[in-house]
Structures are given as C-alpha cells and as structure tokens.
Amino acid sequence: MPNLYPLVRPVLRRLPAEAARELTLRALEAGLGRFMVDNAGEAPDPPILAQRLWGLDFSNPVGLAAGYDKDARVSEAMRRFGFGFVEIGTVTPRPQPGNSKPRVFRLEEDQAIVNRMGFNSGGLDAVIDRLSRRSPSGIVGVNLGKNRDTSDAVTDYAEGIRRAAGLADYLVVNISSPNTPGLRDLQRRANLESLLHPLLRAREESGCRVPLLVKIAPDLTLAERADIASVALDTGIDGLVVSNTTVDRPTGLISRNARQAGGLSGRPLFGPSTALLADMYRLTQGQLPLIGVGGVASASDAYAKIRAGACLVQLYTALVFSGPRLVSWIKKSLADLLRADGFASISEAVGSGHVGAAAARPTRSTERAA
C-alpha cells in the first residue's frame, strides 16, 4: 500500500490547525488511514513491549492522548496506526461548542501547540452511541469532563461514569484542562476528596469495576502534588494521567504564537511534565500506575517517561508534526533501548530511573471484574 502521508503533509500544514485536524478526522472516518502509514503500522508489536495492567493486555505502551478524537469518531483507525491504546474525549454530558475560533495554534519553531478549545464536545449521547457500535478490538479509554455552565461538577462526572463505565476499558476524570474556568481548583485536596468519593460510588453503582484515573496539570506546587498523591492512595483510584497542558510559558520559546492564551503542549512540556511524573511516582511510592504524557516525540522521550515512573505513555502534539509513522518508529526503537539496557520486559523498566529503584513497579494493578 503506498504511503501518501508525505504528499498530504504540506497541505495540512498550510491549513489552520483546527481545520487540518477536522480534515484528518474525516479522512480517517472515510477509511483513508491505511494510505497514511507503511505496513509497519499493522506489524505485531515486539513482545518486550507487552504489559498487563488493570487486567488489560497492552501490546505496547504508546497511546493516543485525549483531545484528538474527542467524540470517539476514529478510535479503530488510530489503533491501526499502531497505538497500544486510544483515549477519546474529553466528552461533556451535554454537547457544547467550546471557545470561539481560532483556538488552536501551532508553534512550528518550538514543536509545540497552544490550545484553548474549552471542551468542545458532541456530548455523551453521541459518544455512547459510537462506542456501543465499535468493534471490541483495541483498548479505549474515555476522558470525562464537565459542562462549562454546570456548577456541581460531581453531577457531570458521575453521569459520565455511569454511562460510559460499561463501554470503556478505563475512565479518566479530567480536572486539569486550563480552558474551563475553575476546573483546576478541583485538584485541591478538599475538593478532590469531595469529588472522588462520590465518583467511586458512581462507579460501584454502575456494576462495572472499570479502572478510574485522574488527569492532573503540570502547574502544581510541591504541596499540591503531595496532596494529590495522598488522596489518590487513600481513595483507591486506579492511576494518574500526568499531565495535561501547561499555562506556563517556559523561557526560550521563539514562535509568535507562544503568547496566545491557552495550554501549551509538545516539546517545551516534556521537561515539566516528566518532572511532575517523577514526583508523583516518588510520592505514591510506585504503588499507582501512571500514564506519562507531555512532549513525547521519540523513543528516548518515551523511555525517559517510563524510567521516571510511567507504565504507559501518550502523545498528541508530536503526531501533528511528525505524522502517524512516528508510532511505529517509537515502538521499534523503544524495544531496542529496553534490550540494550538488559530489561526483559517493559514493566521491569518502570521507575528504573529513580535512585534505589530495584523492582520498583506498581503493585496495584487492579483486576477488572464485571
């Protein structure tokens, strides 16, 4: 099959970022994804990358981060690009348009994106409908949000949990988007406790013990990080997604769009999000599975996240700059890096970058019971 992506790429780059995203979504919906990668996308994953977490078998640790397939339109096509798992969403209970356009900006020179989409979402009805029609292959997580005009966050997240629990392989409570006013306040200790207890009850009531994770922001003080770690361990949630985009603007950004308001992702986020990941691994004593996300653009980036404590990694921005072949490249080179360091399996490498990290790996890989 010819790989047409090199021809398509210049066209996409000339379009505004959000129009390019919509065009790729439509192309994938039309089944054109198979023309965008070499056959490598469909090759079996090296066994060294396989891992069992929460009772789920991940054939590789590289996932698609939330925000590209917000409405569960193309999860199967993304799996065929070689992703080990796909996170759809953020989905809000009711449809909402998000912020006014333009609201996504490429920072070409910095290999970064600033977005202030503001949870544009087709709503749970549409997502549930698509998820219930999807083929059972592939691991799909559902990232849940709240509507902008909802004052009681618990109601919205609980609705998402109740309705998506039976259709998702895992759920993510997203309290870290910088583009919904007040959302990040839910990360504060007292707010987080008051949120998570009823959400865990909502999961119980759903009858599906689907893994429940929380996605956090990189812009947290050390005290806030410690609070989140202790609440995560005390409540018994199943993991953390580390991290969302940053409102910070690290020094050294050169693109004109760096001054746009919103969350920054891509290469400049790699350092801060990996430092947060290492903190969360240390603060949870390696007991909680962590998904590392932020600036992953190569196998060595993915490996650094794993050594900092991530069982799984995700990416989004690098896909925009490098295209779908990136997934196969990362997987192949990651397997080489693991072998070169003498690891027999990826789970042995999780957290291995920490001093005194012998056999440091998550112990709470909850088995999923229906």
- Site of interaction with ligand FMN (CB under 6 A): 65-67, 70, 89-90, 104, 113, 115, 117, 143, 174, 177, 215, 244-245, 265-266, 269, 293-296, 315-318
Nearest to ligand FMN of 89, 362 (CB atom)? 89
The strand pair at 263-266 and 112-115 is best described as antiparallel
Query: Least separation, in Å, of the C-beta of 172 and ligand FMN?
Result: 7
- Amino acid (one-letter) located at 307: R
Nearest to ligand FMN of 228, 318 (CB atom)? 318
Q: What share of the chain is helix, strand, coil (3-state, %, to 5)?
A: 45, 15, 40
Query: Least separation, in Å, of the C-beta of 3 and ligand FMN?
Result: 22
Quickly count: other Cβ atoms within 10 Å of residue 99's Cβ. 17
Nearest to ligand FMN of 177, 328 (CB atom)? 177
The strand pair at 104-107 and 112-115 is best described as antiparallel
Nearest to ligand FMN of 150, 244 (CB atom)? 244
* Dist. CA 30–CA 1, nearest whole Å: 17
Q: What is each CA distance from 152 to 23, 64, 123, in whole angstroms?
A: 35, 29, 17
Query: Least separation, in Å, of the C-beta of 170 and ligand FMN?
Result: 13
- Least Cα distance to 240 among 204, 202, 277 occurs for 277
For residues 237 and 264, is the Cβ–Cβ distance under 8 A? no
Q: Which residue is nearest to ligand FMN (CB)?
A: 67
* Dist. CA 176–CA 182, nearest whole Å: 10
Query: Least separation, in Å, of the C-beta of 353 and ligand FMN?
Result: 20
Nearest to ligand FMN of 113, 312 (CB atom)? 113
For residues 242 and 292, is the Cβ–Cβ distance under 8 A? yes
Choosing from 121, 176, 177, 347, the catalytic residue is 177
> Is 135 among the residues known to form the active site?
no
Nearest to ligand FMN of 202, 213 (CB atom)? 213
Provide the angle, in degrees to the nearest 10, between the axes of the packed helices 153-164 and 189-206: 30
Query: Least separation, in Å, of the C-beta of 218 and ligand FMN?
Result: 9
- Least Cα distance to 88 among 75, 78, 99 occurs for 75
* Phi/psi of residue 142, nearest 5 degrees: -120, 120
DSSP 3-state of 315? strand
Query: Least separation, in Å, of the C-beta of 162 and ligand FMN?
Result: 20
Query: Hey, which residues are catalytic here?
Result: 177
